[in-house]
Structure 1
Amino acid sequence: MSIFKSSSILSLWGVILLATGVALAGANFGREATPEEMAAWNITILPDGRGLPSGGGTAVEGAAVYGEKCAACHGQNGTGGPADRLVGGIGTLASDKPIRTVGSYWPYATTLFDYIRRAMPYDMPRSLSNDEVYAVSAYILFLNGLIDKEARMDATTLPKVVMPNRDGFISYWPE
């Protein structure tokens, strides 16, 4: 047998033994997430309000947070800036030029809370406290004429806000 063949066979056996050892040892990547870690990422909020956290806020409180954290992108009164407008457009969806805003298009107020909590402000997502998110949500709902300025939004009251387009979406799934 030639030296080349012997070294090839020896190398092949080395690779097989190494692969067997790795397979027996297991991948051993990472670790199982703890219940606390999973709870921290379980931030799903359903349209009926399930999953909303404790806390609360009013439009009056939200105006200050909005001015500091939101107005640069969405405009001073939510009517537009570099980012989408949040206010107005109610009754325009069936027109030639629909204006899709929180007040005209979004079907649930809980979705507003969920989106702000997850994604806003754009440059620092998930940086607002629950109270700040409730307050900003209340402020945007107030600007759209959907709640009073003093109305406190929390896990009980927010799901009760009836958005103008709540029944404007068609489900393709049977009930």
Structure 2
Amino acid sequence: MYTFRRMLKASTLAACSAAVLVSTAQEQVKLGQAITEVSLAEFNLIAEPSGTGFPAGSGTAQQGRTIFENRCALCHGSNGEGNSDATVLVGGNMQSAETPLRTVGSYWPYASTVFDFIRRAMPANAPKSLTDEETYQVAAYVLYLNGLVAEDEIMNAQTLPQVRMPNAEGFIDRSHIQ
């Protein structure tokens, strides 16, 4: 009986203590705050295959070469050959059973995805540090390395979404679903 009372008291004390701690914690924790429209606009960076979401600007592969050599070649090599499979940008063959390799030229379905990825995530050591002009220029250079655009072809919000990617039919997107 003595042990039962001790256990009952200890359980009751533990339950009450837990309730007080939870109540206190809920009052003190103030997670998050409302985001402003200006802050939200910084995240609205999606360049879509339809051509919506692209910023103003333009660039050619000729212009992008220097930026690529200075900001991208450390990981991707001077000609997009990469330092590992994860950093290769040119060549590749997704249909190869032995060595499928995902590159811009063999895997990516839309040029807008290339632009969007560069804009959001590159260079890896300083994401979002390229200007919109530089992003167009680097995207043009990467597309040029893959033989998809001419070296002097201007890439902008109108022309870049029109670049036909070799693996464009390799994915199912919203337009394929009824």
TM bracket, shorter-chain basis: 0.7 to 0.9
Residues 1-175 of structure 1 correspond to what in structure 2 (within 5 A)? 31-82=33-84, 83-89=86-92, 92-96=93-97, 97-170=99-172, 174-175=177-178
Q: Greater CA deviation, 121-130 or 42-51?
A: 42-51
User: Secondary structure, in 3 states, of the residue corresponding to 1:113?
Assistant: helix
Q: Greater CA deviation, 96-105 or 61-70?
A: 96-105
Partners in 2 of 1:167 and 1:30 — Cα distance? 42
What is the root-mean-square deviation in Å for CA atoms of aligned residues?
Answer: 2.8
Question: Compared with structure 1, are the counterparts of its residues 30 and 85 closer, same or farther at alpha carbon in structure 2 (3 Å cutoff)?
Answer: closer
Partners in 1 of 2:94 and 2:30 — Cα distance? 54
**Sequence identity percentage:** 46
Partners in 2 of 1:31 and 1:93 — Cα distance? 44
Residue 53 of structure 1 deviates from its aligned partner by 0.8
Consecutive unaligned residues in structure 2, runs of 5 or more? 1-15
Q: Which amino acid aligns with 1:152?
A: I
Partners in 2 of 1:143 and 1:152 — Cα distance? 15
Partners in 1 of 2:100 and 2:30 — Cα distance? 54
Name the structure where helix makes up a greater proportion of residues.
Answer: 2
**Residue by residue, what CA displacement relative to the aligned partner does 1:19-63 show, whole Å, maximum 9, x if unpaired?**
6x998x997655422211111111122222211111111000100
In structure 1, the partner of 2:13 is: none
**Residue by residue, what CA displacement relative to the aligned partner does 1:80-115 show, whole Å, maximum 9, x if unpaired?**
2144210113xx322323332101110000000111
User: Secondary structure, in 3 states, of the residue corresponding to 2:170?
Assistant: coil
Q: Which amino acid aligns with 2:140?
A: A
Question: Compared with structure 1, are the counterparts of its residues 27 and 62 closer, same or farther at alpha carbon in structure 2 (3 Å cutoff)?
Answer: same
TM-score (norm 1): 0.79
